[in-house]
Amino acid sequence: MPESSENPRSVATEPLVVREDLSLIAIEGVIGAGKTTLARLLAERVGGSVLGEAFDANPFLERFYSDRKRWAFQTQMSFLASRFKQMSAVSGPDLFHNVVVADYTFDKDRIFARLNLAGDELALYDTLYEMMKTTVRAPDLVVYLQASTERLMHNIRLRARSYEVNMDREYIDELNTAYTSYFFGYTHGPLLIINVDRIDFVRNETELDEIVRQIVSYNHPATTYFNPTPSQAPSLFGT
């Protein structure tokens, strides 16, 4: 359900200045979009701390990818509890960091739930979710990394995690559609949608710079779309 990435290379020089009203920034995207990597790189650039999703602690995740129907409820409830615990501890910047960068939003839990649960299981989930969400702090800015299903599958294959080897393309496509629908109707606060289909901000520092500066200077109260300029270097993904 969630994603992580290899540790990015060090690129920080002098931390960039983030707007004072952006003390909690959340990076979102479908599995393989690069949200965890961008969260780490952004936090490094701005001298912030990272709130990373504890997906390794979910004992049901690997079984879910083997049998979605059998393990969906257990996996979803484990993530709901973990995400609630993590997000409930976020009150704002700490003594050493001016900004917290999360690689997920609490709201995203419901996207997965509505895709994987039904009937009484979904009803029970919704009851617990509604009770929890009122106490979770909303991000000051959400950054949604938008990519095609083809690009997502390409990235998933590249990172070659054991439990993702047989990742179902249809599931990723359904998830991508669900994310697109959710964020294109998003009205809960500032949202920056970045098209990452033709760029590689992990390996290309110029593209990363462009994205980071868009984020730290963001001052729109609603939704903005941003298409970064692809570098001149050949893309690993192709055209």
Express each pLDDT in 94-142 by its tens digit.
Answer: 545 689 999 999 999 999 999 999 999 999 999 999 999 999 999 999 9
Phi, psi of 161 (to 5 degrees): -75, 145
For the segment 165-191, the average pLDDT, to the nearest whole number, is 92
In a domain, 12, yes or no: no
Q: How far apart are CA 228 and CA 211, in angstroms?
A: 7
pLDDT score, position 17 = 78
The shares of helix, strand and coil residues in the chain, as percent rounded to the nearest 5, are 45, 10, 45
Q: How far apart are CA 39 and CA 137, in angstroms?
A: 18
The CATH number given to whatever domain includes residue 123 is: 3.40.50.300
- Work out the burial of residue 142: count CB atoms within 10 Å of its CB; fewer than 13 is exposed, 13-18 middle, 19 or more buried: buried
In a domain, 7, yes or no: no
Range of the domain at 148: 24-226
Asked if residues 145 and 41 have their Cβ atoms less than 8 Å apart, the reply is: no
In a domain, 96, yes or no: yes
In a domain, 172, yes or no: yes
Q: How far apart are CA 99 and CA 37, in angstroms?
A: 17
**Each residue of 187-211: pLDDT tens digit?**
999 999 999 999 999 889 999 999 9
How many domains does the structure of the chain reveal? 1
- Please determine, for residue 13, whether its predicted confidence score (pLDDT) is greater than 60: no
Name 98's bridge partners.
none
In a domain, 129, yes or no: yes
Neighbours of 86 (CB within 10 A): 17
Kindly state the tokens that stand for 235.
Answer: 């893309």
pLDDT score, position 234 = 43
Q: How far apart are CA 160 and CA 89, in angstroms?
A: 32
In a domain, 205, yes or no: yes
Q: How many helices (H) and strands (E) does the chain have?
A: 8, 6
Kindly state the tokens that stand for 124.
Answer: 């029970």
The C-alpha angle 80, 144, 102, rounded to 5 degrees, equals 50
In a domain, 14, yes or no: no
Asked if residues 158 and 139 have their Cβ atoms less than 8 Å apart, the reply is: no
In a domain, 144, yes or no: yes
User: Which is higher by pLDDT, 225 or 56?
Assistant: 225
Asked if residues 223 and 180 have their Cβ atoms less than 8 Å apart, the reply is: no
